[in-house]
Chains A and B, each alone.
Chain A
């Protein structure tokens, strides 16, 4: 993991034991890829949360920072839909997120959870960016 990408983990507002993202592998405008870890076999809801947390790293590009998008904004989860594709008993996965759309501070992101090369779960999350309890 590069030092630069590692530093981005500071911006994850969820801390242990709820912060599931442990490494940031890709952090681009419309795509991120992370490593997530759990202390036990995760539920689908936990993987969906991991997808939401991974989506934070879509926004942390230099382009977004230059546009003054607050890097410490919290994404309040509004909705989720997801499904298992193949059940896995692993505790560590890679999560790929892709930007779908946004309207101001309301974002929709899709995610896929990988166990190695096998996609085990997928879904979509919608979140509103907030700072100090106020939608941005």
Chain B
């Protein structure tokens, strides 16, 4: 797995299998948190998706729907739970308090 210029150093993978991925985020000193936003560090919604895609070594064809329901903060431990659907996958992202942070329906394929 290679990290992008944005995600480099942004997270560590705690555990990973086909159905569940657990990560911890870096602290607020990471350039992404300094940039999004100044004085109010939050993980951007697009990176909530791209971190998982990067770990799973996929390419997204379509974001059928992505709902961002809870702000994601630096140093949080996040769990992605992945389940197959007829046309792709559904991913529920929650924090260590088991609060739902994001709910994504994606069409993806293995990165070549």
Q: Which residues of A contact B (CB under 8 A)?
A: 13-19, 39-40, 43-46, 48-49, 74, 76-84, 123, 133
Contacts and interface: CB of A to CB of B under 8 A. Distances in A.
B50 A45 contact: yes
B1 interface: no
Interface residues of B, number: 30
Contacts of A78: 67-68
The 8 A-B pairs at the shortest CB distance, nearest first, are namely: A83-B62, A45-B46, A49-B46, A15-B35, A18-B35, A77-B45, A45-B49, A80-B66
Contacts of A80: 45-46, 63, 65-66
A44 B60 contact: yes
21 contacts: A14-B35, A15-B35, A17-B5, A17-B35, A18-B36, A40-B5, A43-B46, A43-B49, A43-B50, A43-B60, A45-B46, A45-B53, A45-B60, A45-B63, A46-B46, A46-B50, A77-B44, A78-B67, A78-B68, A83-B63, A123-B63
Given A46-B46, A77-B45, A78-B67, A83 B35 contact: no
B6 A17 contact: yes
B70 to A, nearest CB: 11
A48 B64 CA distance: 12
A19 B31 CA distance: 11
